[in-house]
Structure 1
């Protein structure tokens, strides 16, 4: 994640640029600068459907559909302004090259003239659309309104009660099996008696029947072999729909086929000879040429075409999707040919083109992390897409980062009389992470092969990381995991990690850091050498793959636990009860015991042209118990930053009303992130198009983190006073921020610039928490703007 970048420039420095942009937009919003004398700018239109006797209540739906037929569309506008037209007018040139020409053609848009709109043709298209929806008697009229150099058009469609389906009949009398198979599908018809006549439903009915037949062996059948006739003479505005097969249909299309031989070319490249002489017969499949690339027993888990089974489009697509997901292959194609010796049988040919087996990638970068540490980094990544001849993906990543703290933490200024210790903090980090992803479920139990288009996976991970905070400590961390991932349906994903191991070890600390640990009990327990031994379950639901939905949902639930099984086993064996200063150990080291749950729910409302309201509600809670009194530092919650509350620096809020700048220890103020055991965050964002790949956003964020219990330091003082969650006052402790953003969205890449405006700061005294009136138009100091530069959308 790319966090907020430190920004040192002031708002005044760029005020002239912003003013110029505003003047540019205003100067071109009229858009009539280059309109011919005898013409006008087409600025908008209105479509209205008048149907006093129409009982179908489809007027609004039909108005939207008819509006989509208007061509050409008026120039893009927002809030009454036409920025793309303004750019075109401002940078207009008759030259066909140069910077002005590029801006004019790529970012601008020429004026759409009223003379370009053929109202007669558009009205005919609208009338045809109404006819297709059952309004056989309709009239469409248009009126052009010209005022000065601008023009609008009003279309009015007059309709009456639509014709409705009375019945659907399949006129199939032939004794061929295809007629019987079509007749059996009638109960699933999408043409329902009593509903308004709809040509689109009739077309959909042909497609539905074809899909059904394709799964019953009719390989050569197609929807255009079915023909409809409609009888509207039955009276009372009703229509009888008759469906039959065309008279001249190839005989091959009217009979089902079975799969005979299945040939798998496991190492195929264009131009290869298709000789099948060098073949392995494995469980009835012809595997060509050998198992030197991917072993047949592993590959056949993704093949659902079986000998002597009826051809099925469903099995065909399932096989395509499963094989395409294998890392070892970049192209998959399946072809069928009639068997030369047996009638009504097909031979199947599966062609698998290998991907590059091994790749090495070196990536250099300059990173800015959530704790304001910034510096250069390098990642060397090695990939083997077929490590064990089963299409296993082996990834080894070596990382190195050098960082120094380049700016404040966004929490204010140091306490009075203390020196700002934000400078000269530096660190470096070295790590290696190895993962093996196996495209199947590997378990001690025999499991049936899931009939899902998504590849089930087993992940094995192992890693080591060394962190050196030069002024404070050196830390080693080890991790290992064994996990399963599968998707029974496209909306649901399950991720189970039965083995999740981590070990964190402080190997060297400075005297200054030791003094700090001795004084701060919470910090000392967070940095203790400890094991994290547990399991994790993650469930995700989303329907965002269905891009045409008006309402889209996403929900991700995580349940994480550590030490519970180990602690239970030790209790059964009679081990001494754990104490705060004497926890139970494993291999001589304490282990964490906790349970943690988090849910991330999102709702997206899509409307207009690329406009969207995106909302998110995120809640999490973690509870340390038994062998632990504090959650491990890596499991604690934080809030703020470019993907959270964007008016505040990352990890600079909370817990509760705790004010880190008033902490008695300057090291705490300067270095450590603000974390908690409970989190609540809500976001709402309005996203809208601007021009081309430029998108805009207005947002409102709120949230905070809290502690579940007070931590008492050795001197009797409460650590992070005000951080405990109180149900009666948590709403008054929410941090609130708003702002606006610009996004450069080129489909495969999104660059985001968000300006956050603080509204409510929970750490401020009562009566002073609302800071909007004290806003400073700059990016430096308290109550100032926060610029977030990030990759991708925040949620």
Structure 2
């Protein structure tokens, strides 16, 4: 014990020396600055407007700051690692390792001489003018010290000019003038609002969009022009919007669709002959149905002969066709009909994707149950299996895994009954999964074609896996499913699996495992051979489809139920009520009955292009009843690991304050629960090039809804039951930091977790941060998580 503080002091000394070295290295960032010049390190923009009633000073400062070019040399906590790398590895050579590091990971100094303050000030003045500040002045001042310089821009503005009235010159009798007039009530330009050039541009775009959906195919925003009178006095302007006088006649008339040609097997360089044409429901299908049948493809075409051209139907058709797996590219072109110049002929070009592919992947598998190891997956894909753009996937997998979860540190506790064969808990898994995704809803009922830009899908799955947990058991799992997926809009996805079948069969159990099942009835019931027959519904809402938003949310709600329909049918048949010792069966095997809900909510706060703060909350509960006393083992919750609480190994926490005995510390199936609560907070930031960093705080635990007892009536897991009054004090808490190698298509993640609160320790000893000793292992040691992809 006396050596522990000394050890920590040595570690802290090393860290301080390292930080000092980095700081001193960063201070050398000015060594390559030419004499008489300085490193451009930062700037400020201040907008002063005492008489400005629009209260837009802060908004304008942000907008004007974006105009500064070039940007100053970037820094993190006052340090400039990219500049330090550039200076450290500087070379005149144009190739080699040093050149690669200098150019890819480093960044050259930004000199104050490179900043044209006069030009930047003029751009700022123009921006202010466009926002209604016609009388403005912008000045700049440079402050330089020790070869480092900053710039302060000051913009002086007064009350902006405001709109007094808006008029549309629409005296012509052409229908287009009436259409524009009808759009005026929803105008983005309002009397009394400040003059804003961007709003005027947006108003032209708005009218263009409305007219495009009224048949005006050739109309463009440039056909509209604004005249602005700034001489009406009292800082007001009058606006006049009209059509240009020299607009082409085709711009001013609506079009309807005539012939629609679909080139269903188009390749660049095709002659585009229409002589070999199949007529199907007024469409010209070229050349034939050898690739994709017309009746399947036309469910995704919303262009109809003799209907008015609309941009909405055009984009809807393009998006739906792009969602078909059989095609790589899709495009639609229009030409004025040769016989009727008020009509358009539509030409749809579809370029096929490679129909079949075979892919082999080797991977490092890391599972929520604490197993990790190498694996291989062989995937066959047919993107047009039955000439309806059906996607057929056949995956064959083989994984070899070793237990890395639990609290085991690699040595068997004294007195543990575990044999040498069991150490490491090696296992292997073989499996195959077949899935067929059909780009339409298959239903016994006639359903209308959904007008959504995303292709509705029917998904059929069938699979088998064989799992061999050496020294414990073998397990065969069979699954079959029938599901629907559709997205009514970008932010919302429904995925419903009305038929979800799974059968799990345990075999070849070892004597040691049988002893554990005999000692723990709860565990025994979890591993019973059983059917899972039910339905699953998942609802996903996300605003991440809008990448430019500062604030984004993601929420996934999963509702899962099993056995309810079968149990109801058995009740109607008069089958005896199920009991703990005599549950109802299906084909001689038990079936599970439960309901489960799992909600995963995430909030992303984006700071700039690469910095991000992410908050996450996971809540889940599963309740078994009727024919089951416990949830199936495959449905129970666990916590800890690289995508959960990273300061604890997978399945090493809970349930509740339950402290797993030493003889089970190498296990993986005793720390599961019916209730789960997890929350994470992570700040992500750039370091240099494709190196990213993160700091995080994780907290959570799992609990049981019921106490469990052995055959003698003794409590199996003390402290495991959920209590609404004490659960917050039972959370496992960890913190840490991480390094990510993000090369866009691949992210390799290293997260170092540090435990803060350990719930299974006695009260008063759960906060272990003060005993942190920089070691790996034990309740106070660090945990290194190596994973692929971001945790959430």
TM normalised by structure 2 equals 0.96
| Equivalent position of 1:4 in the other structure | none
| Distance (Å, rounded) in 1 between the aligned partners of 2:155 and 2:626 | 73
Determine whether 1:184 maps to 2:173.
Answer: no
| Equivalent position of 1:707 in the other structure | 704
| Distance (Å, rounded) in 2 between the aligned partners of 1:505 and 1:565 | 22
User: Per-residue deviation at 1:408?
Assistant: 6.2
Equivalent residues of 1:320, 1:334 under 8 A apart: yes
* Aligned partner of 1:218 among 213, 216, 219: 216
| Equivalent position of 2:546 in the other structure | 546
User: Per-residue deviation at 1:371?
Assistant: 4.2
Determine whether 1:752 maps to 2:753.
Answer: no
| Equivalent position of 2:3 in the other structure | none
Q: Deviations over 1:289-345 (max 9, x none)?
A: 111111111100000000001111111110000001000000101111111111210
Q: How has the CA–CA distance of structure 1 residues 192 and 420 changed in structure 2, closer, same or farther, with 3 Å as cutoff?
A: farther
* Aligned partner of 1:131 among 114, 129, 132: 129
| Distance (Å, rounded) in 1 between the aligned partners of 2:434 and 2:131 | 59
Q: Deviations over 1:593-626 (max 9, x none)?
A: 0011111111112224432211011100000000
Equivalence map 1:39-78=2 (5 Å): 39-78=37-76
Equivalent residues of 1:25, 1:83 under 8 A apart: no
Q: How has the CA–CA distance of structure 1 residues 780 and 14 changed in structure 2, closer, same or farther, with 3 Å as cutoff?
A: farther
User: Per-residue deviation at 1:135?
Assistant: 0.4
| Distance (Å, rounded) in 2 between the aligned partners of 1:453 and 1:265 | 21
Equivalence map 1:174-323=2 (5 Å): 174-323=172-321
Equivalent residues of 1:24, 1:87 under 8 A apart: no
| Equivalent position of 2:520 in the other structure | 520
Unaligned segments of structure 1, at least 5 residues:
1-9
Q: How has the CA–CA distance of structure 1 residues 420 and 18 changed in structure 2, closer, same or farther, with 3 Å as cutoff?
A: farther
Q: How has the CA–CA distance of structure 1 residues 511 and 309 changed in structure 2, closer, same or farther, with 3 Å as cutoff?
A: same
User: Per-residue deviation at 1:789?
Assistant: 1.6
| Equivalent position of 1:357 in the other structure | 355
| Equivalent position of 2:485 in the other structure | 485
| Equivalent position of 1:571 in the other structure | 571
User: Per-residue deviation at 1:375?
Assistant: 3.5
- Greater relative contact order (Cα 8 A, min sep 6): structure 1 or 2? 1
Equivalent residues of 1:412, 1:781 under 8 A apart: no
| Distance (Å, rounded) in 2 between the aligned partners of 1:108 and 1:599 | 42
| Distance (Å, rounded) in 2 between the aligned partners of 1:590 and 1:570 | 13
SS state at 1:753 partner? strand
| Distance (Å, rounded) in 1 between the aligned partners of 2:400 and 2:711 | 35
User: Per-residue deviation at 1:652?
Assistant: 1.2
Moved more, 210-219 or 403-412: 403-412
User: Per-residue deviation at 1:415?
Assistant: 5.2
Determine whether 1:743 maps to 2:740.
Answer: yes
| Distance (Å, rounded) in 1 between the aligned partners of 2:524 and 2:56 | 67
User: Per-residue deviation at 1:518?
Assistant: 1.3
User: Per-residue deviation at 1:153?
Assistant: 0.9
Determine whether 1:763 maps to 2:763.
Answer: no
Q: How has the CA–CA distance of structure 1 residues 744 and 364 changed in structure 2, closer, same or farther, with 3 Å as cutoff?
A: closer
Q: How has the CA–CA distance of structure 1 residues 317 and 705 changed in structure 2, closer, same or farther, with 3 Å as cutoff?
A: same
| Equivalent position of 2:438 in the other structure | 438
Determine whether 1:775 maps to 2:777.
Answer: no
| Distance (Å, rounded) in 2 between the aligned partners of 1:14 and 1:356 | 58
* Aligned partner of 1:693 among 690, 693, 700: 690
| Distance (Å, rounded) in 2 between the aligned partners of 1:594 and 1:277 | 61
| Distance (Å, rounded) in 2 between the aligned partners of 1:268 and 1:440 | 23
Equivalent residues of 1:638, 1:675 under 8 A apart: yes
| Equivalent position of 2:4 in the other structure | none
Equivalent residues of 2:406, 2:652 under 8 A apart: no
Equivalent residues of 1:178, 1:254 under 8 A apart: yes
| Distance (Å, rounded) in 2 between the aligned partners of 1:135 and 1:412 | 71
Equivalent residues of 2:523, 2:670 under 8 A apart: no
User: Per-residue deviation at 1:741?
Assistant: 1.4
| Distance (Å, rounded) in 1 between the aligned partners of 2:203 and 2:80 | 43
User: Per-residue deviation at 1:748?
Assistant: 2.8
Q: How has the CA–CA distance of structure 1 residues 738 and 55 changed in structure 2, closer, same or farther, with 3 Å as cutoff?
A: same
Equivalent residues of 1:377, 1:402 under 8 A apart: yes
Equivalent residues of 2:615, 2:679 under 8 A apart: yes
* Aligned partner of 1:108 among 93, 106, 109: 106
Equivalent residues of 1:263, 1:286 under 8 A apart: yes
| Equivalent position of 2:624 in the other structure | 624
Equivalent residues of 1:385, 1:391 under 8 A apart: yes
SS state at 1:182 partner? helix
| Equivalent position of 2:428 in the other structure | 428
| Distance (Å, rounded) in 2 between the aligned partners of 1:727 and 1:737 | 22
| Distance (Å, rounded) in 1 between the aligned partners of 2:427 and 2:771 | 36
| Equivalent position of 1:3 in the other structure | none
Q: How has the CA–CA distance of structure 1 residues 693 and 240 changed in structure 2, closer, same or farther, with 3 Å as cutoff?
A: farther
User: Per-residue deviation at 1:377?
Assistant: 2.0
SS state at 2:29 partner? coil
| Distance (Å, rounded) in 2 between the aligned partners of 1:709 and 1:170 | 72
| Equivalent position of 2:346 in the other structure | 348
| Equivalent position of 1:119 in the other structure | 117
Equivalent residues of 1:536, 1:559 under 8 A apart: yes
* Aligned partner of 2:375 among 374, 377, 392: 377
| Distance (Å, rounded) in 2 between the aligned partners of 1:50 and 1:532 | 68
Equivalence map 1:550-699=2 (5 Å): 550-660=550-660, 662=661, 666-667=663-664, 669-672=666-669, 674-699=671-696
Q: Deviations over 1:656-697 (max 9, x none)?
A: 00111x25xx25643435210000011111122222222221
Q: Deviations over 1:479-503 (max 9, x none)?
A: 0111101011111111111101100
SS state at 1:509 partner? coil
| Equivalent position of 2:494 in the other structure | 494
Q: How has the CA–CA distance of structure 1 residues 630 and 18 changed in structure 2, closer, same or farther, with 3 Å as cutoff?
A: farther
User: Per-residue deviation at 1:745?
Assistant: 2.3
Q: Deviations over 1:359-381 (max 9, x none)?
A: 11122234344444443322111
Equivalent residues of 1:69, 1:125 under 8 A apart: yes
| Distance (Å, rounded) in 1 between the aligned partners of 2:11 and 2:393 | 46
Q: Deviations over 1:719-767 (max 9, x none)?
A: 1221101111101100000111122223333222211110000001111
User: Per-residue deviation at 1:20?
Assistant: 5.9
Equivalent residues of 1:640, 1:651 under 8 A apart: yes
| Distance (Å, rounded) in 1 between the aligned partners of 2:58 and 2:265 | 56
SS state at 1:712 partner? coil
SS state at 2:559 partner? strand
Q: How has the CA–CA distance of structure 1 residues 398 and 539 changed in structure 2, closer, same or farther, with 3 Å as cutoff?
A: same
Equivalent residues of 1:25, 1:82 under 8 A apart: no
User: Per-residue deviation at 1:148?
Assistant: 2.3
Equivalent residues of 2:624, 2:630 under 8 A apart: yes
| Distance (Å, rounded) in 2 between the aligned partners of 1:782 and 1:343 | 80
| Equivalent position of 2:533 in the other structure | 533
User: Per-residue deviation at 1:402?
Assistant: 2.3
SS state at 1:577 partner? coil
Equivalent residues of 2:406, 2:668 under 8 A apart: no
